[in-house]
């Protein structure tokens, strides 16, 4: 399974589309999760341009008139789409992964900045997962939260951040999720002048996911078209 995740901070023009197409083509991506598309309307033609051909399915969560919007895309030769669940801050795609003959769930997540907003989102995700019969889960995106203090540098500790970390770790543990090993950069978001950085983008999977793809890791790429780095989820042994 090969997934690309990026908070793209607006789809922009040709530069960002070319960057996405280059990653998708080079990595032979099967699924792409984008956060903050900053657009309320998308078309087949636009998604074909982002992917590089028309062998792509997609679901767009327009957020609040583009604010907080998400886009999930997948290779229709790799996945047979079944259904999706959409709410504030997430898109969940349920599909059959053709090569492994496995029914998988991929959640594309963009968490709000406020602690109350995060709690609402994590509760919504937890409730959706708890009633799902599917066990092969992957949650990836911009969680706007860190698990330990050292995952933020150059940012003054604010009131509530300890509670935020505790709540985020509780969400992960209660949903029996595990974080994939990270390769490459330790941080995924950088302030434009480099004075602050954090690891707020990540990939969490279920135990069943790891049984199916035991060599999976998350590779953090160099930052190019956004203040966030793209993450590529892949196995050492390509599946």
pLDDT tens across the length of the chain (239 residues)? 999 999 999 998 899 999 999 999 999 999 999 999 999 999 999 999 999 999 999 999 999 888 899 999 999 999 999 999 999 999 999 999 999 999 999 999 999 999 999 999 999 999 999 999 889 999 999 999 999 999 999 988 777 789 999 999 999 999 999 999 999 999 999 998 889 999 999 999 999 999 999 999 999 999 999 999 999 999 875 44
The tens digit of pLDDT for each residue in 54-79 reads 999 999 999 988 889 999 999 999 99
Strand order in the sheet with 152-153: 152-153, 197-198, 189-190
Distance from chain centroid for Cα 224 = 17
Tokens 């023009």 belong to 13
Q: Which residues contact 219 (CB under 8 A, 6 or more apart)?
A: 182, 183, 184, 231, 232, 233, 234
| Domain chopping of the chain, boundaries | 3-235
Q: pTM (2 decimals)?
A: 0.95
- Which CATH number is 3-235 given? 3.60.10.10
């Amino acid at each position: 399974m090969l997934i690309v995740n990026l908070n793209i901070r607006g789809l922009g023009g040709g530069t960002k589309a070319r960057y996405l197409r280059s990653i998708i083509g080079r990595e032979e991506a099967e699924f792409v999760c984008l956060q903050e598309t900053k657009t309320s309307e998308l078309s087949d033609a636009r998604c074909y341009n982002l992917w590089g051909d028309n062998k792509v399915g997609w679901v767009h969560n327009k957020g609040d008139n583009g604010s907080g919007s998400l886009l999930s895309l997948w290779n229709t030769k790799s996945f047979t789409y079944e259904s999706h669940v959409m709410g504030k801050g997430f898109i969940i795609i349920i599909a059959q992964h053709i090569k492994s003959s496995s029914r998988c769930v991929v959640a594309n997540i963009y968490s709000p900045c406020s602690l109350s907003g995060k709690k609402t989102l994590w509760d919504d995700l937890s409730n959706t997962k708890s009633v799902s019969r599917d066990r092969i889960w992957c949650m990836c995106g911009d969680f706007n939260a860190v698990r330990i203090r050292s995952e933020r540098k150059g940012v003054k500790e604010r009131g509530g951040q300890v509670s935020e970390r505790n709540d985020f770790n509780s969400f992960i543990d209660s949903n029996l999720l595990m974080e994939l090993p990270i390769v490459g950069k330790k941080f995924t978001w950088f302030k434009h002048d480099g004075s602050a950085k954090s690891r707020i983008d990540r990939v969490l999977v279920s135990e069943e996911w790891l049984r199916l793809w035991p060599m999976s890791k998350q590779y953090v790429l160099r930052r190019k078209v956004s203040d966030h780095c793209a993450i590529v989820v892949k196995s050492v042994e390509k599946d």
